[in-house]
Amino acid sequence: MHIQEWLETVPAVSVYVLVGVVIGVESIGIPLPGEIVLVSAALLAVGHDGINPWILGACASAGAVIGDSIGYAIGRKGGRPLLAWLGGKFPKHFGVSQIAMAERSFHKWGMWAVFFGRFIALLRIFAGPLAGVLHMPYWKFLIANLLGGIVWAGGTTAVVYSMGVVAEAWLKRFSYLGLVVAVLIGVTSMLVLKKRAKRAVAQGPVVSTPEAGTVPVAD
Protein backbone atom coordinates (compact mmCIF):
# COMPACT_ATOMS: atom_id res chain seq x y z
CA MET A 1 0.00 0.00 0.00
CA HIS A 2 1.27 3.45 -0.93
CA ILE A 3 2.11 5.73 2.00
CA GLN A 4 -0.49 8.29 0.91
CA GLU A 5 -3.19 5.61 0.71
CA TRP A 6 -2.27 4.41 4.18
CA LEU A 7 -2.40 7.94 5.60
CA GLU A 8 -5.91 8.38 4.21
CA THR A 9 -7.07 5.46 6.37
CA VAL A 10 -6.08 7.24 9.61
CA PRO A 11 -9.29 8.21 11.50
CA ALA A 12 -9.82 11.99 11.58
CA VAL A 13 -10.83 11.92 15.25
CA SER A 14 -7.52 10.35 16.24
CA VAL A 15 -5.66 13.15 14.42
CA TYR A 16 -7.72 15.84 16.20
CA VAL A 17 -7.10 14.22 19.58
CA LEU A 18 -3.39 13.68 18.95
CA VAL A 19 -2.85 17.30 17.92
CA GLY A 20 -4.83 18.69 20.85
CA VAL A 21 -3.14 16.45 23.42
CA VAL A 22 0.44 16.93 22.18
CA ILE A 23 0.10 20.71 21.97
CA GLY A 24 -1.67 20.80 25.34
CA VAL A 25 0.99 18.76 27.12
CA GLU A 26 3.75 20.82 25.50
CA SER A 27 2.05 24.02 26.70
CA ILE A 28 1.93 22.68 30.26
CA GLY A 29 5.73 22.62 30.20
CA ILE A 30 6.63 19.13 28.99
CA PRO A 31 8.93 19.26 25.92
CA LEU A 32 7.02 17.70 23.01
CA PRO A 33 7.14 18.45 19.25
CA GLY A 34 3.84 20.34 19.15
CA GLU A 35 4.72 22.42 16.12
CA ILE A 36 5.93 19.42 14.15
CA VAL A 37 2.74 17.50 14.94
CA LEU A 38 0.53 20.46 13.95
CA VAL A 39 2.35 21.09 10.66
CA SER A 40 2.29 17.38 9.81
CA ALA A 41 -1.43 17.13 10.59
CA ALA A 42 -2.24 20.21 8.48
CA LEU A 43 -0.35 18.70 5.54
CA LEU A 44 -2.10 15.37 6.11
CA ALA A 45 -5.45 17.17 5.91
CA VAL A 46 -4.64 18.21 2.33
CA GLY A 47 -4.94 14.66 1.04
CA HIS A 48 -7.36 13.34 3.67
CA ASP A 49 -11.01 14.08 2.90
CA GLY A 50 -12.08 13.25 6.47
CA ILE A 51 -9.84 15.79 8.22
CA ASN A 52 -11.44 19.23 8.41
CA PRO A 53 -8.78 21.98 8.71
CA TRP A 54 -11.21 24.18 10.67
CA ILE A 55 -11.75 21.47 13.29
CA LEU A 56 -8.02 20.73 13.31
CA GLY A 57 -7.22 24.39 13.98
CA ALA A 58 -9.87 24.55 16.69
CA CYS A 59 -8.47 21.45 18.45
CA ALA A 60 -4.94 22.82 18.25
CA SER A 61 -6.09 26.18 19.65
CA ALA A 62 -8.00 24.50 22.47
CA GLY A 63 -4.99 22.37 23.38
CA ALA A 64 -2.73 25.43 23.41
CA VAL A 65 -5.04 27.56 25.57
CA ILE A 66 -5.99 24.81 28.03
CA GLY A 67 -2.42 23.53 28.33
CA ASP A 68 -1.04 27.01 28.99
CA SER A 69 -3.70 27.63 31.64
CA ILE A 70 -2.81 24.40 33.42
CA GLY A 71 0.87 25.30 33.18
CA TYR A 72 0.13 28.71 34.70
CA ALA A 73 -1.71 27.12 37.64
CA ILE A 74 1.13 24.65 38.22
CA GLY A 75 3.74 27.40 38.03
CA ARG A 76 1.78 29.64 40.39
CA LYS A 77 1.57 26.87 42.97
CA GLY A 78 5.00 25.32 42.48
CA GLY A 79 7.04 28.55 42.25
CA ARG A 80 10.76 28.53 41.55
CA PRO A 81 11.30 25.06 43.06
CA LEU A 82 9.24 23.84 40.11
CA LEU A 83 11.70 25.41 37.65
CA ALA A 84 14.57 23.77 39.52
CA TRP A 85 12.80 20.41 39.32
CA LEU A 86 12.12 20.84 35.60
CA GLY A 87 15.76 21.81 35.12
CA GLY A 88 16.78 18.50 36.64
CA LYS A 89 14.37 16.52 34.48
CA PHE A 90 14.84 18.45 31.23
CA PRO A 91 18.24 20.22 31.42
CA LYS A 92 18.32 20.92 27.68
CA HIS A 93 15.03 22.80 27.85
CA PHE A 94 14.98 24.23 31.38
CA GLY A 95 18.67 24.92 31.91
CA VAL A 96 20.08 28.13 33.37
CA SER A 97 20.53 29.76 29.95
CA GLN A 98 17.01 28.93 28.79
CA ILE A 99 15.43 30.23 32.00
CA ALA A 100 17.52 33.42 31.82
CA MET A 101 16.36 34.06 28.26
CA ALA A 102 12.70 33.43 29.14
CA GLU A 103 12.80 35.64 32.24
CA ARG A 104 14.35 38.49 30.27
CA SER A 105 11.53 38.24 27.76
CA PHE A 106 8.87 38.28 30.49
CA HIS A 107 10.38 41.21 32.39
CA LYS A 108 10.77 43.21 29.18
CA TRP A 109 7.51 42.42 27.40
CA GLY A 110 5.09 41.26 30.12
CA MET A 111 1.90 39.71 28.73
CA TRP A 112 3.20 40.11 25.18
CA ALA A 113 5.87 37.55 26.00
CA VAL A 114 3.05 35.03 26.43
CA PHE A 115 1.53 36.03 23.08
CA PHE A 116 4.72 36.10 21.02
CA GLY A 117 6.23 33.22 22.98
CA ARG A 118 3.62 30.98 21.38
CA PHE A 119 5.48 31.35 18.07
CA ILE A 120 8.90 30.36 19.50
CA ALA A 121 9.51 26.71 20.29
CA LEU A 122 11.24 27.04 23.66
CA LEU A 123 9.17 29.97 24.96
CA ARG A 124 6.05 28.02 24.04
CA ILE A 125 7.03 25.48 26.71
CA PHE A 126 7.95 28.16 29.26
CA ALA A 127 5.06 30.61 28.83
CA GLY A 128 2.43 29.07 31.10
CA PRO A 129 4.58 27.83 34.01
CA LEU A 130 6.85 30.90 34.04
CA ALA A 131 3.92 33.32 33.96
CA GLY A 132 2.59 31.53 37.05
CA VAL A 133 5.95 31.54 38.80
CA LEU A 134 6.31 35.29 38.18
CA HIS A 135 2.73 35.86 39.42
CA MET A 136 1.53 37.59 36.27
CA PRO A 137 -2.11 38.71 36.84
CA TYR A 138 -4.28 35.92 35.48
CA TRP A 139 -6.53 38.20 33.42
CA LYS A 140 -3.49 39.50 31.53
CA PHE A 141 -2.19 35.99 31.04
CA LEU A 142 -5.60 34.75 29.86
CA ILE A 143 -5.95 37.46 27.21
CA ALA A 144 -2.46 36.85 25.84
CA ASN A 145 -2.95 33.09 26.09
CA LEU A 146 -6.23 33.15 24.15
CA LEU A 147 -4.97 35.46 21.43
CA GLY A 148 -1.60 33.73 21.09
CA GLY A 149 -3.05 30.23 21.08
CA ILE A 150 -5.70 31.01 18.47
CA VAL A 151 -3.44 33.05 16.19
CA TRP A 152 -0.57 30.55 16.36
CA ALA A 153 -2.56 27.33 16.08
CA GLY A 154 -5.21 28.62 13.71
CA GLY A 155 -2.74 30.62 11.64
CA THR A 156 -0.26 27.76 11.32
CA THR A 157 -3.02 25.37 10.27
CA ALA A 158 -4.42 27.83 7.70
CA VAL A 159 -1.04 28.72 6.18
CA VAL A 160 0.29 25.16 5.99
CA TYR A 161 -3.02 23.78 4.69
CA SER A 162 -3.26 26.51 2.03
CA MET A 163 0.30 25.87 0.89
CA GLY A 164 -0.44 22.16 0.79
CA VAL A 165 -3.54 22.65 -1.37
CA VAL A 166 -1.53 24.67 -3.88
CA ALA A 167 1.08 21.91 -4.09
CA GLU A 168 -1.35 19.02 -3.69
CA ALA A 169 -0.40 17.20 -6.89
CA TRP A 170 3.27 17.28 -5.97
CA LEU A 171 2.64 16.27 -2.37
CA LYS A 172 0.76 13.17 -3.51
CA ARG A 173 3.89 11.98 -5.29
CA PHE A 174 6.13 12.77 -2.30
CA SER A 175 3.94 12.08 0.73
CA TYR A 176 6.93 12.24 3.09
CA LEU A 177 7.55 15.91 2.26
CA GLY A 178 5.34 17.13 5.09
CA LEU A 179 7.41 15.34 7.70
CA VAL A 180 10.67 16.61 6.21
CA VAL A 181 9.44 20.21 6.17
CA ALA A 182 8.10 19.93 9.73
CA VAL A 183 11.38 18.50 11.04
CA LEU A 184 13.38 21.25 9.32
CA ILE A 185 11.15 23.93 10.84
CA GLY A 186 11.45 22.42 14.32
CA VAL A 187 15.23 21.99 14.14
CA THR A 188 15.77 25.51 12.80
CA SER A 189 13.63 27.11 15.49
CA MET A 190 15.43 25.20 18.25
CA LEU A 191 18.85 26.24 16.92
CA VAL A 192 17.78 29.89 16.83
CA LEU A 193 16.44 29.68 20.39
CA LYS A 194 19.63 28.03 21.64
CA LYS A 195 21.69 30.86 20.16
CA ARG A 196 19.40 33.49 21.71
CA ALA A 197 19.54 31.75 25.09
CA LYS A 198 23.34 31.87 25.13
CA ARG A 199 23.26 35.55 24.16
CA ALA A 200 20.82 36.30 27.00
CA VAL A 201 23.19 34.81 29.56
CA ALA A 202 26.15 36.68 28.10
CA GLN A 203 24.32 40.03 28.34
CA GLY A 204 24.06 40.01 32.11
CA PRO A 205 24.18 37.87 35.25
CA VAL A 206 21.24 36.56 37.22
CA VAL A 207 20.97 37.82 40.78
CA SER A 208 18.86 36.79 43.76
CA THR A 209 16.41 39.05 45.51
CA PRO A 210 14.45 38.23 48.66
CA GLU A 211 11.18 39.26 47.04
CA ALA A 212 11.30 37.56 43.69
CA GLY A 213 13.99 34.90 43.84
CA THR A 214 16.29 34.96 40.80
CA VAL A 215 15.64 37.64 38.24
CA PRO A 216 17.87 38.87 35.41
CA VAL A 217 19.72 42.11 35.91
CA ALA A 218 18.21 44.96 33.93
CA ASP A 219 20.27 46.27 31.06
Helix (H, G, I), strand (E, B) or coil at 213: strand
- Is residue 80 over pLDDT 90? no
Residues with Cβ within 8 Å of 179's Cβ and at least 6 positions away in sequence, in order, are: 40
Identify the weakest region by mean pLDDT among 92-96, 134-138, 169-173: 169-173
SS (H, E, C) 30-90: CCCCHHHHHHHHHHHHHCCCCCCHHHHHHHHHHHHHHHHHHHHHHHHHHHHHHHHHHHHHC
User: For the chain, what percent of residues have pLDDT higher than 70?
Assistant: 65
pLDDT value at residue 40: 85
- Is residue 215 over pLDDT 60? no
pLDDT value at residue 75: 84
pLDDT value at residue 147: 92
Torsion of CA 49, 16, 142, 136, to 10 degrees: -130
- Is residue 52 over pLDDT 70? yes
pLDDT value at residue 218: 37
Higher per-residue confidence, 47 vs 175: 47
| pTM of this structure | 0.67
> What length does the chain have?
219
- Best CA proximity match to 125, nearest among 85, 86, 164, 84: 86
Q: Please tell me the distance from the alpha carbon of residue 52 to that of residue 44, in angstroms, as a whole number.
A: 10
pLDDT, averaged across the chain: 74
pLDDT value at residue 60: 93
Higher per-residue confidence, 195 vs 51: 51
Residues with Cβ within 8 Å of 22's Cβ and at least 6 positions away in sequence, in order, are: 32, 33, 34, 37, 63
pLDDT value at residue 214: 41
pLDDT value at residue 209: 39
Per-residue pLDDT, averaged over 40-59, amounts to: 86
pLDDT value at residue 8: 62
Express each pLDDT in 146-187 by its tens digit: 999 999 999 889 888 887 766 555 545 555 555 566 556 656
- Is residue 32 over pLDDT 90? no
